[in-house]
Every structure is written in structure tokens, then in C-alpha cells.
Structure 1
């Protein structure tokens, strides 16, 4: 896998919205943060644009991301927010210049479309908190973005005595992102390849039976049977029917992979949660799960 060039003080970071609309005012905390990091923010034309719930129509959002991909003075692209909409523009993008001069693509949730699509090009991307609500996330999650972008040595470790964890160790490429998005990409040119890789999953505001349906789909597509390991992040604000499904999201996932023997951990600090740590997707990692601790080292 190819690692985009790390950032240096004074570098330009483009902020664009490939999905839902956002105002410039909502970006103030992120702009202050970039200034603190001695980076120059450049706002795309999708910021402040509006077409129903989108940050401008598909043409505006696609052109904005295309500009950021092509402009050699832009060293990283920070997607302003998620929501929905990136899949509507992915097939109209030309990645020729990007493949010759890779730059960091930063975001999560709906930005899983870009992570998955770009992974097939052999280029690393950064699954991390976006500008929207960054002031409401942990200081650790904010600093994790900086550590990766500036090429610092990086790992994640936390105490865990979660009974659903399956101890073990795995060394492999890290892939994944938002479960709903990965599910929606199945069968497309952007579908993720999980063979012999460590898969990361997270999701927000889904019905529990939807979680089960998506897991069954991934399983039937052969995406769960040959993993090196599985990391489950925040499964946040789940919904249930009047007749309860009977399992938590974590229990649904654990059951779906119960016949396999690779290591599995839950409640990993990444996703739609306050402590949303950065993950370098596409990079080889060393995952160690014991009865009381989880460690993920980026090699």
C-alpha cells in the first residue's frame, strides 16, 4: 500500500463536503484547530452550498472534490461531515491525478465510500473525526489525527474486559468503516476486499434487525469468513422494534462470526462516539487482544 505524503507546517488542507450541507460557521472549531497545527485551511465551494439536504447538487460536490484531488497545492482533504451523498458522486470522479500524487483523505461514516473505493487503488486513507462536532470529541481523538498526518509513531491501547471479545493476535491490513455503507457497496466497483485482512466496523442509529441483515449479507458475500481479525467500534444509538430483536448489536455481530476462529474485539474507541480515534485504513497493523487489554499498533 502507498502512504500519502505526511504533512509539514504551512501545508494546505482542503475542506469539502461530499454529503450533507454544512455552514462555514459550523467549521470554526476545526479551522481554529488547523491554525493551531500550523496548517492552512482552504474551503471548497460545497461549503455553504445547499440543495435540499446536500451540500450543493451532485455536480457541485463532485467538482469540489475533484478540485481538491487535482490541486497539487492541497496536501490533504478533510471531508467536512457525513450524512449521505458520497455514493452519488463516486463514479463521476477522476482519480488519475490523485493516484500519481496521493494525499490524505480524512473522514468517516459516509466517507467510507471513499475509503473503500480508494483502498482498491492501493492507497492508505485516514478514518477519523470530521470538522463537524470536532470540539465535542475527546482531545485524544483530535490529537490522533495530528499524529498520523505528521507521521508520528502511532498506536491505540485500552483496557477491556468485554466478555464478547475473542482473544488472539493478528497482523494484517486494516480495512472497513461504517457497516451500513460497506453493505451498500456490496456488488459495486467500490466493494471492499476483506480477504486475510482485519475488518473494522462501526455504525449509528440503525435498527437491530438491520444490523443482523447487513451482517448476514456480508457473510453470504464471503466477507466475514476469511478475516485475519475483527474490530468493532461504536455501535451507537441503536433502535429496536416494539417486539424486541433480543440481542444487542455487539451480540448480533459476535453470533455472525461465532463459527470462525480469528480474534475479535468490541467497544473499540472509534466511530460515532466521543473518543473517535484515527485509523489508518490500508496499513498493516498488529492487533493484540488479551483478557484485559486491546492494543492496535500501526506498522
Structure 2
């Protein structure tokens, strides 16, 4: 499949901020608005910003209608999800992605937004895994700068120090993935992606180690780990164990799940729920190189 890359942003372009999951107030949006305006962009707050439906940013109908409106609006060049949590899967089947056939536009977010990344990948659309509007006050400068580079089509490549447990090698392929728990929850649905020949990125937060093991084995049983070109692991943040230890940490669980396959594996990439969340252009080709000393990720 040929993946369509939306036009990169230009100063003056309009970016919409919407809630697909948890609620987000107008006051909370101010740092994100200031950031986008500092980049020369115009900000459009979706109708869900400020809505309060218990945890969610409005009812399912309201959140679906807001996202659909931004997808239809030809003046909107990118859609920035306000925050994650939970709720995107409740509206995914009510979203009309057909306007993107004529006018692809960037969709930005992480965590629960993996539902959209995965579904849009199946439609042949590139998206950006990166900080959300909610993240801006606490986001490190590199995370914000990397999002700017991704959105404006500037060169994007990363080098990090190697860690113990990496598996050396080089790979080239389309980058896919996101939050492990979300990808696991999508298995068997039309939003679950084909990973064959691709570089899979995974990250997660606040999970019990036995559940990480369960999820990795279910990805494996569904064929998502067998024919990868490479595996890139971001933050496995704030993992938990039971009073009787599971016996393996997250890295060991992942290595055990892929031990019979032969492709490079890199851990501790600064993307996900940790302090750093560097932007990744999903649905685009990346070169992954894992050596004794470093890991290089370069986008075409």
C-alpha cells in the first residue's frame, strides 16, 4: 500500500484541537494555543473543548461530530487531539474519513489516540505520534521541537545511546504502532493493522507485568510480531508487579516474545508517557540502525 503523507504545514495554516477521549477545558488549552501561535499557526478550538461528560470531553455523539467537522473543513490542515485517557474507541465507527481521500491532513496524538493511528494506517494515511495539547505545559523542549519538525516537513532523525538488551541490526520499513494496550484492544477489529515488513513501535504506561506478557503473546498469536522489519520500544513507564513477582521486567518479556524472530530490537526510545515524547511520523518509511553504541532512527 502507498501511504499518503498530508501536506506539511505552512505559517498561517489552521490547526484544530479536539477531544476524542478525556475532557479538556478552554483554560487548559491556553499553553497549546500559545505554542501553535508561536509557530505562526492559527488555532481553532473544537466544540468539544470545555465539554464535561464525567471523564469524557462530551458525549460520544458530540466527540464524533466535532472530529467529523474538522475532517470535513477544508481550512483545517491538522487535527491535534487534546488528551488521551479513554474514549476514542467509542467513536471510531462513527467517524467519516472519506474527506481525507481528497484532502489528507495531519492527525496528532498518542496513548488512546493509537486507535486513530491504527485505523487511519489501514486507510493508507500517515499520522504523527507525539505530544498532545494537554502535554504542552510539562513537555520537554525536544518533544515540542520534534513535533514542529514533523509538522513542517523539516528533516527528522534521532540518535540515542544503546542500552543492554538491544538486538543489533539494520532495517528499513514503514513505521507503525503506538500504545501496546490499545493495539491489543483492537485485535480482531477492522482497526487492527497488518505489521508485515514494517517497523513496529510500542510504548505503555501503568500496566502490570503479567498483563504486558499477556498482550505481547496475543500480538504474537495474531501474527503481529512474526514478519516485522524491526521493533522499536519506547517508554514502558510505571510498570507494576504483584506481591508474588512475575519474574521478568518489561524488556525481558518483550525479548522473550520475539526470541525466535531475527530483526533488530531497540529499547528506551524517548517516546510515550515518559518525560520525553519525540514525534514519530507513522505511516512513513524509516531507517532503523541498532549498533553496540547507539540507535539511529531516520525518516525519509
Cα distance, 1:22 vs structure 2: 1.2
Instruction: Report the Cα distance in structure 2 between the residues aligned to 1:45 and 1:135, rounded to whole angstroms.
Output: 22
What pairs with 1:1-299 in structure 2 (closer than 5 Å)? 1-160=3-162, 162-299=163-300
Deviations 1:19-58 (A, max 9, x none): 0111111111111101110101110111110111110010
For residues 89-117 of structure 1, what are the alpha-carbon distances to aligned partners after superposition, in whole Å with 9 as ceiling and x for unaligned? 00011111122110000000000000000
Report the alpha carbon displacement of residue 163 of structure 1 after superposing the two structures with TM: 1.4
CA contact (8 A) 1:234 1:272 kept: yes
C-alpha separation in 2, matches of 1:297 and 1:16: 30
Q: Is the contact between residue 203 and residue 234 of structure 1 (CA under 8 Å) also seen in structure 2? A: yes
Contact 1:108/1:127, CA 8 A, preserved across alignment: yes
User: Residue 135 of structure 1: CA displacement?
Assistant: 2.2
> Cα distance, 1:226 vs. partner?
0.7
Structure 2 CA distance, aligned partners of 1:115 and 1:220? 22
* Distance apart, 1:275 and its partner CA: 1.2
Aligned counterparts of 2:57 and 2:83: Cα–Cα separation in 1: 10
1 CA distance for matches of 2:19 and 2:282? Answer: 20
Q: How many Å separate the matches in 2 of 1:115 and 1:133?
A: 18
Unaligned 5+ segments in structure 1 are none
For residue 123 of structure 1, give the secondary structure of its aligned residue in structure 2: coil
Q: What stretches of structure 2 of length at least 5 have no aligned partner?
A: none
Paired with 1:103 and 1:6, the residues of 2 have a C-alpha distance of: 9
What is the root-mean-square deviation in Å for CA atoms of aligned residues? 0.7
Give, in angstroms, the shift of residue 133 of structure 1: 2.6
Counterpart Cα distance in 1 of 2:31 and 2:175: 30
What secondary structure, in the 3-state scheme, does the structure 1 residue paired with 2:270 have?
A: coil
Whole-angstrom CA distance in 1 between matches of 2:192 and 2:272: 20
Aligned partner of residue 132 in structure 1, secondary structure: helix
